[in-house]
Amino acid sequence: YKGIFKLKDKGILSENEADILSNAYIFYRKLEHLIQIKNCVQTQLFKYKEADKYALKIGLKNGNQLLNLLNSYRKSIEQVFNSLEIREAKKLTVVQKYVFTKHYEDEVLNYFKEIGFKNPKWALERIKEIFLSKDFILLSEDFKQAYFDFIPKLEEILKKFQDKEDFLRNLTELLIQGKMLPIFASALIQNEKLVEFILNIAKISDFLSDLMAKDPQLLDYAFGVEDIPQTKKDFEKELQTIKNKDFLEKLNKLKNIVQVLSALKYLTQLQSKYAKDRLKELNNTLSNLADFILEKLYRQEHSEGLAIYGLGKLGSREMNIGSDLDIVFVFENQDMKLKHGNVPINIVSSLTKYTKEGILYPIDLRLRPYGRSGELAPTLNFYKNYFKNEARSWERLAWTKARFITGDENVKKQMNDIIEDFLFSKPVDKEFLYDVYEMRMKLEGLAVETSEEIDIKLGYGGIVDIEFLIQITLLKNKIKSKTTYEIVEIYFPHLLQHYLFLREVETRLRMIKGIGISKISKKSPHLYRVAHSFNMESNELWNKILDTRRKVRESFIKSVKAV
């Protein structure tokens, strides 16, 4: 009823048309009410033979007067509708016209085909899912109007955004499954920045959209928490608020909360010039979270004489979205191994077990002695002998990232001494550097790059080039405590911006699906989405990546020769 007068205020209906529709609406609702009372069911079926009875209850003389009034209103409404349809067809967009009239389906399907949807019917179903849903119908008139006014902007995005299917799917999931219809409507009315932020989530990250859609409670955290949990103390406090009897599900829930909040904060800072700050904050938070979870699992086992070390991204405190855990276990001696040998197995099982909230982490145990075929948890003596007699040059590089995570402090002290001796007792000589160079070329070969697909981590001039230089520098200068960023700034300042750029590309690429990918194709929609996050065209980003890789490789060759 109020909507009729809003249309009049906007000039869509004349005053006479508004009066006709409002009077007709009141008449129809009265008649509907009487029909439903008589039949005791929710129906709008009017039987002409009962016109006399309804007429008297409405205050009319007889059934003929009721039927004449009914027919008069029907004709008047039809005239107003036809007139409105003609006038508004010139003003409304294709999708607006469909949403407003619930007609012209063929026209909107042709429109979706023209702007590039592979399956126009699928796209139309998503529009229906938003604008014809029960939740949408329950919105206030102001909110409905805000959505209706938003449609032209939505159409512009769908025209321009190349990966339109994923964007529309993500937006639909956030609004409907994620119960964000009221939040987004409110933002449309009074918070343009929040609108752009939510649209960016849908554009950039299937991973975040999916998590937030599956668990609407994450929205409460996303838009209701001022301080993001970043430390073990924060995580412990947050864990206590999660109401779930299953311990692993609680940890998984905590991980989802922290990942979503950290990733959202990273996205809010995309336009900032301080790439290093936003990357370090994301890496530190996710690394602290992994440490906390490993410590919780270890404490639950009530073990002794065992320590857990992190290598790779965990060891260097550079955990990212989709990172796996490179972990190794070490027992103090054989007696402790016999007594608590099931503990490492239990921890690995807990980390990789599927729950309602997902799994905690994929595990990579290839950096342990002998790789996949080696023992899960060797003793201190085993490591000492292995490092002295069998470890290869590339393993010295890998263990520069070794970091104690949790466990027995006595084992930690002894293992740290063993690691330090392994890393620094031998010189960084020509033979060692040749082995390192050969290993780098092997990794590049494993990337299997083409002119159309590259690997920004393992491929030519990728992140691993810089990481190898950092690890060589750590060994040569017997440095153990500096972070990757610090080493680059001190020893390779000319590579800092290249390193940050490649890490930013990697982070945004991983944020699309939430998995540890580093390959990107020239024809993939992923390239477009990452480029969009940099405010670049796809070709512009592609060329910048190629140019950066060339400069990194030149520096890698030059630096290795200099050493």
| CATH T-level topology, domain 2-162 | Four Helix Bundle (Hemerythrin (Met), subunit A) (1.20.120)
Residue type, 230: Q
Residues 432, 441: Cα–Cα separation, whole Å: 14
Q: Please tell me the distance from the alpha carbon of residue 37 to that of residue 75, in angstroms, as a whole number.
A: 27
Domain ranges in the chain are 2-162, 296-425, 431-562
Nearest partner of 259 among 296, 286, 241, 233, judged by Cα: 286
**Model pTM score:** 0.81
- Judge if 296-425 and 431-562 fold alike in CATH terms: no
pLDDT score recorded for residue 225: 61
* DSSP β-ladder status, 453-455 and 519-521: antiparallel
Per-residue pLDDT of the chain (563 residues; tens, 9 = 90+): 777 877 778 778 888 888 888 888 888 888 888 888 877 777 778 888 888 888 888 888 898 888 888 889 888 888 887 776 555 445 789 999 999 888 889 999 999 999 999 999 999 999 999 999 999 999 999 999 999 999 999 999 999 999 999 999 999 999 999 999 999 999 999 999 889 999 999 999 999 999 888 887 777 777 666 678 899 999 999 999 888 778 999 999 999 999 999 999 999 888 888 899 999 999 999 999 999 999 999 999 989 999 999 999 999 999 999 999 999 999 999 999 999 999 999 999 999 999 888 899 999 888 888 887 889 999 999 999 999 999 999 999 999 999 999 999 999 999 999 999 999 999 999 999 999 999 999 999 999 999 999 999 999 999 999 999 999 999 999 988 778 888 999 999 999 999 999 999 999 999 999 988 899 999 888 999 999 999 999 999 999 999 999 999 999 999 888 76
CATH topology assigned to domain 296-425: Beta Polymerase; domain 2 (3.30.460)
DSSP-assigned states of every residue in 468-537: HHHHHHHHHTT--S--HHHHHHHH-GGGHHHHHHHHHHHHHHHHHHTS---EEETTSHHHHHHHHHTT--
Cβ partners under 8 Å of residue 236, min gap 6: 292
Q: What is the CATH number of domain 431-562?
A: 1.20.120.330
Amino acid 210: pLDDT: 92
Torsion of CA 319, 365, 208, 498, to 10 degrees: 40
Q: How many residues does the chain have?
A: 563
Q: What pLDDT is attached to residue 85?
A: 55
CA–CA separation, 151 vs 379, rounded Å?
A: 64
Distance of CA 71 to the CA centre of its chain: 56
CB crowding 135-147: b at 16 or more within 10 Å, else e: ebeebeeebbbbb
Rounding to the nearest 10 degrees, give the CA dihedral for residues 14, 19, 21, 25: 160
Phi-psi region of 358 (alpha: psi -120 to 50; beta: other; left: phi over 0): left
Token digits for 131? 């604008």
Give the count of beta carbons closer than 10 Å to the beta carbon of residue 442.
11
Under DSSP, is residue 404 helix (H, G, I), strand (E, B) or coil?
strand
Pairing of strands 325-331, 363-364: parallel
Residue 132 burial (CB count, 10 A):
13
Q: Which residues contact 351 (CB under 8 A, 6 or more apart)?
A: 293, 297, 325, 359, 360, 361, 363
Question: What residue has token string 């809003």?
Answer: 6
Closest to 211 (Cα-Cα) out of 443, 521, 514, 509: 514
